[in-house]
Homo-oligomer: A and B are copies of this chain.
Amino acid sequence: MARNAHPEVTERRILEAARELFTEKGYEKTSIQNIVDRLGNLSKGAIYHHFTSKEAILDKLNDTDWDYSQAARDRIMARTDLNGLEKMRELFKVTIDNKDHRKLNEVTIPLLDDPTTLASSLNFWAAELPKHWLPIIEEGMRDGSIPTEYPQEAAELISLLANYWLLTRFCPPTRAELRHRIQCLATMLNAINVPVFDDELIRQTCDFYAQLNAQNPEQTPHD
């Protein structure tokens, strides 16, 4: 097969191999050579032809997962059988159920120890992620299922707290404490009339974070 006859196929193969290796070995311990070895029939030069660095591969994987989330949101938004609140819960569940993304998250959490990565993640959670939630909250305001006075604040706080506060340094050591913390967030969101966390979603969210945090050796939740 001529090189670049199907560049998008090659790119996808590189991404798939990198995702597997990042998940198996960790991001830091994976080298471009490992990716070459895994693929078998591609040179290091061919990989660098598609991606300037290992970091660029990770960025592309994150972009791919974000596109998947956006597409899932668009599908959910188009449904006519759900009100705004139900759509919001559905979007949480889709995020939680995306196992590939969870595995990538497990790999990238330790990278937040790097200040530049942390700062760019915080910017994303502050500037981009709230835009993902806000239209659903506004739909819930219109149909009466999310009668909040604080749509922008709720979108921001869900973005910030579900990512920064429930993960990283704030993360509590035991599963009981993790559940307590999610219950706290649920109670506060109920108070501003964004009752997205019902008992089922609290349980699912708790499972999701427990699995995520279990990959972080310094902060292993246990029962």
Find A192's partner among B169, B188, B192 (CB 8 Å cutoff): B188
Contact A123 B191 (CB under 8 A): no
| CA distance in complex: A115, B120 (Å) | 8
Contact A156 B169 (CB under 8 A): no
Contact A115 B119 (CB under 8 A): yes
Describe A's contact surface by its main secondary structure. helix
Contact B169 A165 (CB under 8 A): no
CB of A180 within 8 Å of the partner chain: yes
* Shortest distance from the beta carbon of A194 to any chain B beta carbon, whole Å: 10
A89-148 interface (Cβ within 8 A of B): 115-116, 118-120, 122-123, 126-127
Find A187's partner among B115, B116, B123, B191 (CB 8 Å cutoff): B191
| CA distance in complex: A69, B149 (Å) | 34
Contact B160 A127 (CB under 8 A): no
- Binary CB contact string for chain A from 146 to 170 against chain B (1 if under 8 A, 0 otherwise): 0001101100110011001100111
Residues of B within 8 A of A161 (CB): 157
| CA distance in complex: A181, B110 (Å) | 31
CB of A82 within 8 Å of the partner chain: no
Residues of B within 8 A of A71 (CB): none
Find A118's partner among B115, B153, B169, B184 (CB 8 Å cutoff): B115
Name 28 interchain pairs, CB-CB below 8 A, sorted by A.
A115-B115, A115-B116, A115-B118, A115-B119, A115-B120, A122-B122, A122-B169, A123-B169, A126-B168, A126-B169, A126-B170, A127-B169, A149-B184, A150-B184, A150-B187, A152-B172, A153-B180, A153-B181, A156-B170, A157-B188, A184-B192, A187-B191, A187-B192, A188-B188, A188-B191, A188-B192, A190-B191, A191-B191
Q: What is A's interface to B at a CB cutoff of 8 Å? A: 115-116, 118-120, 122-123, 126-127, 149-150, 152-153, 156-157, 160-161, 164-165, 168-170, 172, 180-181, 184, 187-192
